[in-house]
């Protein structure tokens, strides 16, 4: 392994897990050659004519799927921190004595710390996928046998479609399914709304196993996952802890600072002229994001403005916009609360999407770039508007990328962030891990002021008479540094030991995460 400086000036390895990599070449500079990955042609001769693909248990399904050492098993994270199926799958893998699995989740959560012994004993070789919490800590401490690979939701779809990651066995945890393998997330006791993150897995994996705790007679409608792509169906008692799958309810922040940020965001969108009939926006599920939706809603009502679509992760606040006629559609990637699930079940205009539709950069366009404004978070931003979303200033990898990188392509990308957290400044000289190049980040909104990227002269011009606290990013930084007693310390890391890499949406390597020295 050799370290190379990429177009963003970051040091990245030329090989990851023995596979040659392409270093980041700049935004919009790398175009893939070649063809999408072919899949074996199947025949109905090999599948039950009555459509019944149910097998006894997960172990049987894995055996039927031909599980072997060194294979890649994929999972999805629609059940978030309530998922138990992934743990059951790896219990079975361990029991079968299989080794060196590449685990390819769309994201992992604290509930998956159950798998740490399997990472230690070689059942799992490494994780490619976002690592929230304990698995991220484990990885950053250099304990994982292989190197982690972090991809955005769109980047993950592309990696599968392009053949960069071959999935041997896909596990599709499905709150409702039929014996043929049609499945959805919208009904059943473990309902999570939709299961679109598993779409690529269902299309491209060699073998696809649907696991459900709500088996219904054919046809399972809607068929968010199509049985025509499924090999085996397994019924289990429970997919997980429904209280952790979706929140009973999501609440806006109560912090006065965060509320101020949210109000600034809504005012900015209005005063910049973005909030007009037929506009669109994306909001996440953080407390600040939820609050901004409420402030924006008041402005929309006051001015009689209706959105064409809003983009979820949906919550009750987006559902209210839809049901009060303030938007024509919710285009949803995952539902965060019970109201989101209910709405997706009841409202035909609450539409389930997939990373193919929303985010795949290796398609004939995707809709992330059509959205008028995306309001996102970050763990750090630097004075050049570069941002970090996966690690903290102490070097620890603790968060997933999600669709964050993909959303940067919106027409106006806003990072709504506190200027400091736990007395550590959030605006710094250089981000610990680069996840989003500054040229795609248009506005930073903190409780202490709003910084517009100098590239966006149009936004500066639009806001020139605004009473909003538009400031130079370095001014805000200076003030916060003073308040916090200085810039944050650089993390102590071993620059020779890459524990994970962050891919850009086009599959190139954007940055490295290094082993933290305690």
The conformation of residue 517, written as its DSSP 8-state character, comes to P
- Which residue among 292, 361, 404, 504 contacts a copy of itself (CB under 8 A)? 361
Tell me which stretch binds a copy of itself (CB under 8 A): 108-116, 142-150, 332-340, 345-353. Answer: 345-353
Q: How far is the CB of 217 from a copy of itself (least distance, A)?
A: 6
Q: Tell the burial category of 42 from Cβ atoms under 10 Å away from its Cβ (0-12, 13-18, 19+).
A: exposed
Q: Is 214 helix (H, G, I), strand (E, B) or coil?
A: coil
Using rule CB under 8 A, residue 34 touches a copy of itself: yes
153 binds a copy of itself (CB under 8 A): no
Q: How far is CA 431 from CA 4, 47, 382, 387, 496, in A?
A: 18, 52, 6, 6, 19
Asked whether position 24 contacts a copy of itself by CB under 8 A, the answer is: no
Phi then psi for 247, rounded to 5 degrees? -70, 150
Helix axis angle, 316-323 relative to 287-303, nearest 10°?
20
CA 407 to CA 289: how far, in whole Å? 14
Which stretch, 30-38, 93-101, 122-130, 462-470, contacts a copy of itself (CB under 8 A)?
30-38
Nearer to a copy of itself, 218 or 326 (CB): 218
Query: Residue 42 or residue 478: which is nearer to a copy of itself going by CB?
Result: 42
Task: Tell me the window of 12-20, 41-49, 387-395, 436-444 that interacts with a copy of itself (CB under 8 A).
Answer: 41-49
- Work out whether 197 is an interface residue with a copy of itself (CB under 8 A): no
Counting every residue written for the chain, the total comes to 518
Q: Using the rule CB under 8 A, which residue among 68, 278, 301, 461 binds a copy of itself? A: 278
Sign, CA torsion 98/104/106/111: positive
Decide if residue 38 touches a copy of itself (CB under 8 A).
yes
Name which of residues 211 to 230 contact a copy of itself (CB under 8 A): 217-219, 221-223, 226-230
| Interacting positions 49-108 with a copy of itself (CB under 8 A) | 49-51, 53
The pair phi, psi for residue 260, each rounded to 5°, is -65, -45
- In whole angstroms, give the CA distance from residue 409 to residue 369: 5
C-alpha pair distances (Å), 113 with each of 70, 123, 139, 198: 21, 14, 12, 21
Query: Does 161 contact a copy of itself by CB under 8 A?
Result: yes
Applying CB under 8 A, the residues found at the interface with a copy of itself are 28, 31-51, 53, 161-162, 180-181, 208, 217-219, 221-223, 226-231, 278, 308-309, 329, 331, 348-349, 351, 356-357, 360-367, 369-370, 409, 411, 506
């Amino acid at each position: 392994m050799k370290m190379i400086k990429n177009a963003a000036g970051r040091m990245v390895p030329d090989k990851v897990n023995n596979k040659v990599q392409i270093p980041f070449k700049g935004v919009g500079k790398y175009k893939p050659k070649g063809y999408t990955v072919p899949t074996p042609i199947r025949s109905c001769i090999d599948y039950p004519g009555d459509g019944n693909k149910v097998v006894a248990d997960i172990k049987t399904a894995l055996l039927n799927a031909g599980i072997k050492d060194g294979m890649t098993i994929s999972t999805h994270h629609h059940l978030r921190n309530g998922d138990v199926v992934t743990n059951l799958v790896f219990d079975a893998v361990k029991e079968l004595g299989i080794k060196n699995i590449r685990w390819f989740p769309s994201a992992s959560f604290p509930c998956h710390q159950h798998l740490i012994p399997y990472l230690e004993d070689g059942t799992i070789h490494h994780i490619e996928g976002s690592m929230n919490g304990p698995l991220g800590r484990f990885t950053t401490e250099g304990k994982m046998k292989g190197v982690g690979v972090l991809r955005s939701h769109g980047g993950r779809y592309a990696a599968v479609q392009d053949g960069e990651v071959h999935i041997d066995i896909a596990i599709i945890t499905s709150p409702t399914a039929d014996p043929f393998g049609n499945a959805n997330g919208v009904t059943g006791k473990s309902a999570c709304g939709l299961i679109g993150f598993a779409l690529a897995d269902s299309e491209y994996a060699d073998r696809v196993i649907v696991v459900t705790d709500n088996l219904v007679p054919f046809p399972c409608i809607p068929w968010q996952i199509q049985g025509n792509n499924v090999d085996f169906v397994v019924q289990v008692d429970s997919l997980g802890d429904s209280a952790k799958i979706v929140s009973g309810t999501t609440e806006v922040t109560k912090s006065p600072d965060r509320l101020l940020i949210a109000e600034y965001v809504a005012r900015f969108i209005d005063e910049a002229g973005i909030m007009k009939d037929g506009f669109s926006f994306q909001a996440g599920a953080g407390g600040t994001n939820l609050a901004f939706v409420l402030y924006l809603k008041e402005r929309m009502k006051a001015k009689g403005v209706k959105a064409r679509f809003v983009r979820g992760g949906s919550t009750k606040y987006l559902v209210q916009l839809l049901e009060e006629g303030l938007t024509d559609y919710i285009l949803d990637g995952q539902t965060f609360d019970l109201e989101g699930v209910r709405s997706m079940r009841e409202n035909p205009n609450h539409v389930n999407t997939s990373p193919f539709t929303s985010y795949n950069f290796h398609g004939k366009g995707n809709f992330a770039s059509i959205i008028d404004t995306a309001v996102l978070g970050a763990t750090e931003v630097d004075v050049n508007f570069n941002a970090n979303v996966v690690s903290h200033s102490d070097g620890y990898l603790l968060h997933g990328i999600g669709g964050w990188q993909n959303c940067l392509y919106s027409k106006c990308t806003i990072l709504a962030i506190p200027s400091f957290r736990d007395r550590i400044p959030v605006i710094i000289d250089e981000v610990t891990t680069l996840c989003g190049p500054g040229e795609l980040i248009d506005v930073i909104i903190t409780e202490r002021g709003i910084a517009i990227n100098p590239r966006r002269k149009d936004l500066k011009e639009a806001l020139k008479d605004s009473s909003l606290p538009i400031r130079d990013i370095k001014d805000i930084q200076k003030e916060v540094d003073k308040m916090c007693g200085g810039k944050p310390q650089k993390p102590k890391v071993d620059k020779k030991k890459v524990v994970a890499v962050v891919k850009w949406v086009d599959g190139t390597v954007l940055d490295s995460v290094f082993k933290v020295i305690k």
